[in-house]
Amino acid sequence: MLATTTRSITDELAELRAAAAELHDLGRIVELLGWDQETMMPAKGIGWRGQQQSTLSGIVHERLTSPRLGERLGSLAEAAADERSPLSDADRGLIREVKRARDRAVKLPTRLVKELAEATTQAVATWQRARAESSWTSFQPDLTRVIELKREVAEAVGYAGEPYDALLDEYEPGATAAGLSEMFGRLRADTVALLEKIRLSGRPVDRSVLEREYPLDRQWQFGETVLGWMGFDFEAGRQDRSAHLFCAAIGPGDVRLTTRLSERDLGQALFGSMHEGGHGLYEQGIGEAVQRTPIGQGISLGVHESQSRLWENCVGRGRPFWQFALPKLTELFPRQLAGVGVAAFWRAVNRVEPSLIRVEAEEVTYNLHILLRFEIERRLFSREVDVADLPRLWNETMASTLGVEPPNDREGVLQDIHWGFGLVGYFPTYTLGNLYAAQLWAAIGRELPERDAAIARGELRPILGWLRERIHRHGGTYLAADLIERATGEPPNPRYLTEYLTAKYGQVYGF
């Protein structure tokens, strides 16, 4: 009897894997079309692309909501709950994630899925034009449509607390607005206290070394060199330019990064490349056991962001990195960097100053940008405010939170592409990524006591090896909190971020 049951589970699991592989492939095709739209697609292709995305989204939705898949998941979910069943952790993770996706999808009519895909494709193209022209009125109608559809999604999916929870759960399973609000409130208080110490330190940081004229071709060369040091495999990936930085993962052997360059901001392209490179390394490191399945990717956006922030900030803005990298950079820019020492350069890349643009913000104020967006999104979905109110609300909140006010919509409410894509509930995962990254960095330091000395010699592969073993290879096998606990020995703990920032910026500013 047990043998028959085992064979049945094996057969059903094989059928689930086949269905999951097809869903994965369709999702990666959608990802590829999105990458093409951001980097290569002619402007007149937008209407066709919207229809293509709509068609593919409809097919994915129909496959995911098929009765046959539901039947397979029903029996497999029972087996997964039985500790005596011969299922591996990866099998259980696969069953859990396909069931979670299906449970969400069956609540959404195909009509809504297709309308949202077409609306967001159009909204992204409109955002690109509106941002270039700093024209909120150009973007408002498209965004209004997207938000209306996302409100439909929230109501269809359902929620226990507030509508925003239904959207947040898509990107960070299990998270709630109320829970994040409590955590973010503590972080805000810690950040404000740290900013006050920096203000009173009496040791201003000069950033002008980063604002000299740096030819773009050599910036590009250095960025790709650094990606190579990190371990990014260019035979399994590439880097291109786009207005919005992102990483598109078509598969572990095809990971595409984008960055943007500024001739008078040396840090923009470099740290953008390191950030997206962290995402790319995660995708290239997905283990064979979970590839081509819904768990063949990061389990949550917070965990994914932890990888990008760890490489960008913990490594790239660390003093040991510049002990090795600055001489190499000076070879490319001898005139601009003549006489610049490691300490001065390291302090320059870590200057703290409230700014308008999230992606250009340093570590201390970055999370305040996220809290601003989190609060606006919650109010938008509780219907306290509407889309038409966003420019005013944005400017007021920037002034009260960061002490700066945008001079135009391009540097204000239009600076992020996320809402055009319909990515509501996405922003909080950036701060969760910072929290996870600080905890992972502390664990790496404990287990690799020569970490900083190795970085100063240009040896970054031990860090990648640790992340490969503890995070990357598992993909989405374990939920975020479980994965962080397995990697570090304790559940997610926000104190590590406060301790990391306080220690680092105490050195930068001498307190």
Active site residues: 276
- Nearest CA to 222 out of 320, 331, 308 is that of 331
Contacts of 243 (CB under 8 A, 6+ apart): 38, 128, 131, 260, 417
Rounded to whole angstroms, how far apart are CA atoms 333 and 302? 36
**With contact defined as beta carbons under 8 Å apart, do 364 and 504 qualify?**
no
The SS3 of residue 248 is strand
CA distances from 402 to 332, 356, 395, 410, 434 (A): 36, 8, 10, 17, 19
The SS3 of residue 261 is coil
Residue tagged 């949550």 (tokens): 300
Residue 102 neighbours by CB distance under 10 Å? 18
Q: Nearest 5°: CA angle at 294, between 436 and 236? A: 80
Query: What are the structure tokens assigned to 202, written together?
Result: 């009496």
Helix axes 363-381, 136-157, angle to 10 degrees: 70
Rounded to whole angstroms, how far apart are CA atoms 326 and 493? 34
CA distances from 129 to 132, 133, 390, 456 (A): 5, 6, 18, 43
- Nearest CA to 230 out of 477, 472, 490, 46 is that of 472
Contacts of 183 (CB under 8 A, 6+ apart): 435, 494
Helix axes 110-133, 136-157, angle to 10 degrees: 150
